Structure 1
């Protein structure tokens, strides 16, 4: 006899908000998944986050909010939680976790000298240190508990309280939200592969709802690609901390989109602070970073502003049908300005040719990075560029050197336009095809590519045809 799945939806669905029906369907799917797991394995499947001891890091109190936000957000995306319920759920879980983890010993980092085990914990205690993996497990468990509570039939009448403000229709007869729950235009697509190395050390972050996530007034989206080395920890750390620090900095800047100095300073602070906090951990890991903040006007206008900051040799290509603009000048040790800076560093630095590449102190093949505390001439001060966007601009390609060093920019652009023009091809196929081109070009490295679209697919194709 099959086990009955509890119903979440209520009566008179035809009159209720389509977004609310979508959320109820999402919860019903969670119940069905739980029942199926219980039937096949004898017990519900739990989310497992497991890494070896050298693939975690201590998280200090001031770093906790950023880690919580990113853990909850990533899990909601994984679960495909409906868009208009994601942020309220995140806020609830984040508040519960921040309150609860102060007394959750299972999250603490067990290392001598990190904290006084006999010292009482208080809300203002800044000496408590948490283990990243244990903290992530604690966060996910709290999120799962909340979602499980919401699948209970007794909560059916309260589900509207978990939607964003003004997201639901008050009167079903006036409901037009069926338009909003239809597929949104694809804002970006991502591809990544470990390739030949033993480990995948690249990381990326794509926050289409950056402003909503961090409660900013201006409409921003944020995208970043991080090419880690000596392990993935610096790259993983940067994906959580750097967007949070950038948002905190932007909250103190002007609201004017053309105040370039404020954006430059915000990026510099977030890069340098991320580097400072990570290097204090004494972990021998580092990462390049190319980060993009997109300040977009309201539709249907295509204009806006693009702010890009970077350290290292990952790149960002701004594309229109007639011109492709590489926004990044890579930080390489043999570049004359970088070599001069390294050799004049107070700590003393040299540029040496080792294993077929120019390296800082014979070790690092980029001259700027986040982390790498033992290679002091390698700094985390980013370069910065801003671009006013127009209707001519179609998309931006962010990628690691595993891509850009093995596929020409002209080939990248031509391939993307051809795929977009082919109605049989899905947008999600683009990164896979670019990765295959890089492998054909003898790329041995980890490969990550993020493509951010500045307009709808049909508009891009039309723009290309009319150029």
Structure 2
């Protein structure tokens, strides 16, 4: 994995190894883990805890079919929090998944129990027992096993094998000078990046969740197309539905996307994939009998391919979280909120099987006097509230600069023109750090009297300088 540079000292030739800079970075990462372990330092910052629960009341049982999604998301979050170098993230995740899936079934620390799966119909006599895991204990088991794997890699006996944990083609070849900035694939993804922020604000609990998977295709092994995935989930009656959706919905969507042939793909297939993901996530969570629900707005960004050099945006949602597509001249709100008092939603609710009503309670129109959105994931006790998403697709052009995803805690309290202007001005301010822009928007929402949890995700479709140049040229 290294090139050779010769130097002459007297009559003796001394050979120095020019190691790939990416491999060196990975070794430094592992050395830091060892140092932190010796010093008993925490791997995670304040508030960055992987496990969602602080008590036994804030967890849920994980059935066998749900385990892979929970393992992948827990590993991915852990690798990001540990700041694992990019070109080693996916291979290490794959290795960890293989180790964990093989061992968690018999691991006592996962708190495994056995339950009888309910029959799909009265005539189904083939009820089968399945394994059920406690979410928090499963997450702890996953994190512990990842740390054991990384610790093994610090052993001297593994020093010569570390290159095997890098992505194929990402390291410099033997006998060549280190060129880590050289392209490793024929087609490079556009310079898409993201930043996100959230705050509990006035409520007693933080019930919002969000997920940003810029390496979505790599994470879920979607080989036919490069995608990125972003989602914002505004939970209510507790955070559990939102937590569940962040892990399960991306996984279920990826399963459907694997069946799409991108040479002949049409929008209908993407719509069906999203519908299946939303409805299946809702069905599995409702089976747990947990009185929690969440809105959801999800964005799938399809990057250019050999066949097409144009990016494409697919958006699906339930509830009132929103997605704003921005260019310097036009801002397009992609979401039409699902509210009980909307004429089409009211008609559907009142025609629902078993009956449904729309009532004005505590200053808002509510389904059955309870829920202030007409569609959501979860909320199994509010039957007229469905999880069938609405869907739009947008071909992206060079004029499009970024996408803003946010909960109603943001969009209901900051006018969209103000959001757009603030982001552009922040990007043009050389002293403003990109990661601080969500904080600026959150402060605007608070100044606008937002009393709710607030979450915002900004997906940049170009690098910063190009966005600023695009804005100034208008």
Q: TM-score, normalised by structure 1?
A: 0.90
Match of 1:103 in 2: 106
SS of residue paired to 1:174: coil
- Cα separation, partners in 2 of 1:147 and 1:12, compared to 1, 3 Å: farther
Match of 1:406 in 2: 413
Of 11, 15, 18, which aligns to 1:15? 18
**1:156 maps to 2:162:** no
Of 456, 463, 469, which aligns to 1:456? 463
Match of 2:311 in 1: 304
Q: Retained in 1: the 8 A contact 2:357–2:368?
A: yes
1:151, distance to aligned residue in structure 2 (A): 1.2
SS of residue paired to 1:15: strand
Of 75, 83, 86, which aligns to 1:83? 86
- Cα separation, partners in 2 of 1:337 and 1:109, compared to 1, 3 Å: farther
Query: 2 CA distance for matches of 1:372 and 1:132?
Result: 20
**1:207 maps to 2:192:** no
SS of residue paired to 1:448: strand
RMSD: 2.3
Match of 1:194 in 2: 200
Q: Retained in 1: the 8 A contact 2:225–2:305?
A: no
Of 129, 133, 141, which aligns to 2:132? 129
Q: Retained in 2: the 8 A contact 1:310–1:382?
A: yes
Q: Retained in 2: the 8 A contact 1:333–1:358?
A: yes
Q: Retained in 1: the 8 A contact 2:117–2:129?
A: no
Query: 1 CA distance for matches of 2:199 and 2:28?
Result: 33
Q: Retained in 1: the 8 A contact 2:334–2:392?
A: yes
1:256, distance to aligned residue in structure 2 (A): 3.7
Match of 1:378 in 2: 385
Match of 2:436 in 1: 429
Match of 1:5 in 2: none
1:108, distance to aligned residue in structure 2 (A): 3.0
- Per-residue CA distance 1:132-184 (angstroms, 9 max, x = gap): 00100110010000011111122111111111112211225332115679xx9
Query: 2 CA distance for matches of 1:25 and 1:13?
Result: 19
- Per-residue CA distance 1:215-256 (angstroms, 9 max, x = gap): 112010000000000000000000000000000000112214
1:411, distance to aligned residue in structure 2 (A): 0.2
- Cα separation, partners in 2 of 1:202 and 1:367, compared to 1, 3 Å: same
Q: Retained in 1: the 8 A contact 2:216–2:227?
A: yes
- Cα separation, partners in 2 of 1:111 and 1:54, compared to 1, 3 Å: farther
- Per-residue CA distance 1:247-287 (angstroms, 9 max, x = gap): 00001122148610000000000000000000000000000
- Per-residue CA distance 1:415-450 (angstroms, 9 max, x = gap): 000000111111011100000000000000000000
Match of 1:287 in 2: 294
Of 161, 169, 173, which aligns to 1:170? 173
**1:236 maps to 2:233:** no
**1:438 maps to 2:439:** no
Unpaired runs of 5+ in structure 1? 1-10, 40-45, 116-124
Aligned pairs, number: 439
Match of 2:74 in 1: 71
1:36, distance to aligned residue in structure 2 (A): 1.9
1:350, distance to aligned residue in structure 2 (A): 0.2
SS of residue paired to 2:39: helix
Unpaired runs of 5+ in structure 2? 1-13, 43-48, 119-127, 185-189
**1:465 maps to 2:472:** yes
Of 346, 349, 352, which aligns to 1:342? 349
Query: 2 CA distance for matches of 1:232 and 1:50?
Result: 10
Query: 1 CA distance for matches of 2:453 and 2:264?
Result: 35
Q: Retained in 2: the 8 A contact 1:51–1:133?
A: no
Match of 2:124 in 1: none
1:382, distance to aligned residue in structure 2 (A): 0.1
1:460, distance to aligned residue in structure 2 (A): 0.4
- Cα separation, partners in 2 of 1:309 and 1:263, compared to 1, 3 Å: same
Q: Retained in 2: the 8 A contact 1:185–1:456?
A: yes
Match of 1:275 in 2: 282
- Cα separation, partners in 2 of 1:26 and 1:51, compared to 1, 3 Å: same
Alignment of 1:223-262 (within 5 A): 223-256=230-263, 259-262=266-269
Q: Retained in 2: the 8 A contact 1:227–1:289?
A: yes
Q: Retained in 1: the 8 A contact 2:228–2:302?
A: yes
Query: 2 CA distance for matches of 1:311 and 1:222?
Result: 16
Q: Retained in 1: the 8 A contact 2:116–2:129?
A: no
SS of residue paired to 1:19: helix
Q: Retained in 2: the 8 A contact 1:303–1:391?
A: no
Match of 2:272 in 1: 265
Q: TM-score, normalised by structure 2?
A: 0.88
Q: Retained in 1: the 8 A contact 2:229–2:298?
A: yes
Q: Retained in 2: the 8 A contact 1:220–1:296?
A: yes
Q: Retained in 2: the 8 A contact 1:275–1:380?
A: yes
Query: 1 CA distance for matches of 2:70 and 2:430?
Result: 40
| Greater strand proportion | 2
SS of residue paired to 1:428: helix
